Structures are given as C-alpha cells and as structure tokens.
Amino acid sequence: MSKEHWDNSFADTDFVYGEKENAFIHDMSGIIPDHSKVGCFAEGEGRNAVYLAKLGHDVTAYDQSTIGLEKTKVLASQNNVDVETVEVDITKDKIPENQFDAAIMVFGHVPKKDQSLVVKNMIDSVKPGGYVMFEVYSENQLEYKTGGPQSFDMLYNPAEILDWIKYHKCIHFYYGEVNRIEGKRHIGNGHVIQVVIEK
C-alpha cells in the first residue's frame, strides 16, 4: 500500500487503531532486556512504540506515512516519552543492520512479493542474540471480516514465514484465532500468525 494510502488512512483526528499497544506485543515485551534499543517496523500511529518507550526502551518507529509518524510524536508527548521517528518504505529501503536489541511489527500490510524482504529487513536490523517479534494477519483473515486488508495478496502464509525464520531460534509461533479490539479498524475475532525469534 502506498504512502498516500496510509496518509489518508491515518488522517482521521482519532487514532484509527487505538492508543493502546497490541496485546501480543504487551504479552511478549517482557522478553526484551531492560533499556534495549528497539525498532518498530510499519509502526503507523505509534501505539506500540510509545508503549515500549514507557517501559524504558530507546525506541525508533519506522513508517512511510508522514501523518502516522506525526501522530506517533503526539502520542509520545502525551505519554511523556521520546520516540525517534523515521519516514521510510521498509519494502524498498534497507534499515541499518545490527543496531537493535529487538525489532517488532504489528500487522505490516505489504504485498506478498515484499513480505520476505520486510521480515529480512527486521531480522538484519537486530544484533546477534536480539529478538524479533511480529503479529500479522494470515490468509484466513479474509473469512473473518474484522479488520485488515481485503486482499489475499496482503496477507501472510504460515509455511512461508517458517521458511523465512528457519535459521533462527524460534521461541514462539502461533497460527490461529485471536480477539483484537484495536481502535475502529480491528474489532473482534481474527486469524493471525505470531512469531518471536532470537537471532
């Protein structure tokens, strides 16, 4: 999806995915060592980045939407934390390697041709021994109609993800239903893939 799409998507005055962190990131964030440097990929309006900053981490939020990143700064200010924002297309631009202690992504909606590159970008950005965690909608999500892209091409296949992460220690892998109440865009039961790996 284009920068224009996401700028338009985030143009509403409210936070379209809410201001509270994703439940999976909340549940798994304890694995990240204290005072870590964390990269948040396809971070949108910043809810997960701000949550991690509130835990004491040094957080950088990446997104291609100028408006999304502006809202990240607002949310960070409201919560009295700092989040560095970087406008970048993670499907095209390489993030500097071996800089983070952890990297996260929540529902990074990108076309299938770019998905493996985005996951590699995240993994490469993390130092050896660092963690990568993400939750994305599976191809089954089309049946649920509770959020996410209405295009099969923008959803993820579990077997492909297992292939992309096979050279790293898999700490958590889940393929199945979850309930997500996140703003006005993710409401109700959905079908996701969750991953936590150690590089």
Can you give the CATH number for the domain in which 64 is found?
A: 3.40.50.150
Taking the C-alpha atoms of residue 156 and residue 161, their distance in angstroms, rounded to an integer, is 8
Mean pLDDT confidence for 92-106: 97
Tell me, what's the pLDDT at 19? Answer: 87
189 has pLDDT over 80: yes
Enclosing domain of residue 163? 3-198
Tell me, what's the pLDDT at 9? Answer: 64
Name the percent of the chain lying above pLDDT 70.
Answer: 92
Amino acid letter, 54: K
Tell me, what's the pLDDT at 182? Answer: 87
- What is the phi/psi pair of residue 176, to 5°? 170, -165
Mean pLDDT confidence for 151-168: 98
70 has pLDDT over 90: yes
List of E strands, the chain: 37-41, 58-63, 84-87, 100-106, 126-137, 169-182, 186-198
- Structurally, the chain folds into a number of domains equal to 1
The secondary structure of residue 94, as a DSSP letter, is P
Site of tokens 């089954």: 140
Tell me, what's the pLDDT at 11? Answer: 67
Mean pLDDT confidence for 113-140: 98
* Closest to 125 measured CA to CA, from 92, 102, 106, 107: 102
| More confident of the two residues 106 and 2 | 106
User: Which pLDDT band holds residue 1 (cuts at 50, 70, 90)?
Assistant: low
Q: What is the mean pLDDT of the chain?
A: 93
User: Which pLDDT band holds residue 6 (cuts at 50, 70, 90)?
Assistant: low
Strand partners, 105: 41, 134
Compute and round to an integer the Cα radius of gyration of the chain: 15
- Report pLDDT digits (tens) over 10-64: 666 677 787 899 999 999 999 999 999 999 999 999 999 999 999 999 999 999 9
